[in-house]
């Protein structure tokens, strides 16, 4: 293991008073620490690496200890298990990452790269100045499939789909939201909370894992990468996020066109029913008055409360047309009945709400009532036979 870990481990052995256990310890089940939350998420962003940190900082010894948490990454229609194993190289230099990665259905592999950046406030006494200097505050951009690492400026990274995760010291980003346009999502798959008994970090327990299998006991558990919630990254406040379902038209920048490759699973607000949801068409016409008339076409597959699976029938719903003559357009949609309902008087029937603010530039958004899953590729959504998930 790394020199810095060996030094600390020897200190634990020589200085700590560790008494052998008098009684036999009941063997724990690591499966108890696998995420069991609902996949359906609401319209609220979060930073998964703040909610489930990938490391613990040992202030007394100034060491970053990976906690061997396992994350699930969904990117470009594929799923990966990701685990951070190391933050140091063999000479104890920080910012040198080792990742264990396994694509769904394939064997694990190890990725090694350097991404020191500014470190963090604990390890860099000049941290604030480093952050303000674009020559030092640099992320390294990783393609999780190929292992390639890119040097991008923030603007280059925002426009690129070559990368999936970015690293700068202990900070991690994904290619979505305010950092990128790839639509990558990440979720917490496994976190071993016994590293933090009573909210206090047990560094000796972490050291034991570090010097043995480096978290393989966690990583190799049977875990379904599709059966967890994927959080909305910073800069994304809606599950059905605008860049994932529409864009400027290539023919006329004043008009919008659909991104109909993406699908979502939507949960009904009123019934125990579910929908495969897709914005299939956006038909817009520029009128002589310079107003824009819009027709939205939704495709869906339906699963009622009595259905065991989604029905094969593709439902096509052409919404009522609207135009920019009205400053604010609000459509409250009942997906069960495929009709618009009164937003306040029939609130219990509203599954999704479409809002259009007709000013320059025009702003559209879709809000979910009880949560959704996505964006998902056509291949992914086709494999999902039911919305009634564990």
Q: Is the peptide bond before 361 cis (omega within 30 degrees of 0)?
A: yes
Cα 243 to Cα 181, 238, 331, 363, 365, distances in angstroms: 8, 11, 20, 12, 10
Say if residue 211 is in the same domain as residue 259: no
Say if residue 47 is in the same domain as residue 195: yes
361-384 pLDDT per residue, tens:
999 999 999 999 999 999 999 999
Say if residue 51 is in the same domain as residue 112: yes
330-346 pLDDT per residue, tens:
999 999 999 999 999 99
- Answer yes or no: is pLDDT of 18 > 70: no
118: confidence class by pLDDT, cuts 50, 70, 90: confident
Average pLDDT over residues 65-71: 97
If one counts the domains in the chain, the total is 2
23: confidence class by pLDDT, cuts 50, 70, 90: low
- Answer yes or no: is pLDDT of 16 > 60: no
Q: What angle do CA 387, 389, 390 make, to 5 degrees?
A: 175
268-317 pLDDT per residue, tens:
987 789 999 999 999 999 998 889 999 999 999 999 999 999 999 999 99
* Residue 237 maps to a domain: no
Cα 186 to Cα 81, 130, 172, 174, 389, distances in angstroms: 10, 28, 11, 8, 19
- Answer yes or no: is pLDDT of 171 > 80: yes
Average pLDDT over residues 149-156: 92
Q: Which residue has the higher pLDDT, 19 or 278?
A: 278
Average pLDDT over residues 257-265: 96
Domain span at residue 247 reads 242-383
* Residue 97 maps to a domain: yes
Say if residue 180 is in the same domain as residue 255: no
Q: What is the pLDDT of residue 25?
A: 52
* Residue 215 maps to a domain: yes
Say if residue 48 is in the same domain as residue 173: yes
Say if residue 193 is in the same domain as residue 320: no
Output b/e per residue, 145-180; b: 16+ Cβ within 10 A: eeeebeebeeeebeebebbbbbbbbbbbbbbbbebb
- Portion of the chain with pLDDT greater than 70, in percent: 92
Average predicted confidence (pLDDT) for the chain: 91
CB 215 within 8 A of CB 85: yes
Say if residue 40 is in the same domain as residue 189: yes
209-253 pLDDT per residue, tens:
999 999 999 999 999 999 899 999 988 999 999 999 999 999 999
Say if residue 198 is in the same domain as residue 297: no
Q: Distance between CA atoms of 56 and 52, rounded to whole angstroms?
A: 11
20: confidence class by pLDDT, cuts 50, 70, 90: low
Q: What is the pLDDT of residue 134?
A: 80
- Answer yes or no: is pLDDT of 347 > 90: yes
């Amino acid at each position: 293991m790394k020199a810095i870990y060996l030094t600390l481990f020897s200190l634990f052995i020589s200085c700590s008073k560790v008494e052998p256990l008098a009684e036999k310890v009941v063997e724990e089940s690591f499966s108890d620490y696998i995420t069991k939350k609902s996949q359906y998420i609401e319209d609220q962003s979060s930073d998964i690496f703040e909610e489930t940190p990938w490391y613990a900082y040992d202030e007394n010894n100034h060491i970053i200890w990976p906690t061997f948490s396992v994350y699930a990454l969904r990117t470009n229609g594929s799923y990966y298990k990701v685990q951070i194993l190391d933050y140091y190289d063999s000479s104890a230099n920080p910012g040198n990452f080792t990742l264990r990665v396994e694509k769904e259905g394939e064997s694990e592999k190890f990725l090694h790269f350097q991404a020191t950046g500014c470190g963090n406030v604990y390890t860099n006494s000049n941290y604030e100045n480093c952050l303000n200097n674009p020559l030092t505050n640099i992320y390294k951009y990783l393609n999780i499939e190929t292992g390639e690492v890119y040097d991008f400026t923030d603007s280059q990274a925002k426009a690129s789909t070559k990368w999936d995760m970015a690293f700068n010291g202990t900070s991690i980003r994904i290619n979505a939201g305010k950092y990128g346009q790839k639509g990558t999502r990440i979720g917490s798959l496994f976190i071993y909370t016994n590293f933090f008994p009573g909210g206090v970090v047990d560094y000796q327990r972490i050291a034991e894992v570090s010097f043995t299998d480096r978290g393989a006991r966690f990583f190799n558990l049977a875990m379904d990468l599709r059966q967890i919630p994927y959080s909305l990254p910073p800069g994304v406040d809606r599950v059905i996020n605008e860049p994932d379902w529409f864009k400027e038209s290539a023919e006329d920048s004043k008009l919008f066109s659909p991104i109909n490759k993406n699908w979502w699973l939507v949960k009904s607000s009123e019934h125990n029913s579910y929908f495969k949801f897709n914005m299939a068409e956006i038909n817009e016409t520029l009128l002589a008055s310079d107003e824009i008339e819009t027709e939205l076409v939704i495709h869906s597959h339906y699963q009622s409360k009595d259905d065991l699976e989604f029905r094969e029938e593709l439902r096509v719903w052409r919404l009522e047309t609207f135009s920019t003559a009205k400053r604010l357009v609000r459509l409250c949609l009942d997906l069960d009945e495929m009709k618009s309902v009164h937003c306040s008087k029939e609130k219990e029937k509203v599954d999704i709400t479409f809002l259009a603010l007709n000013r320059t530039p025009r702003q559209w958004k879709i809000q979910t009532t009880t949560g959704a899953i996505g964006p998902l590729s056509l291949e992914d959504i086709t494999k999902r036979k039911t919305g009634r998930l564990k």
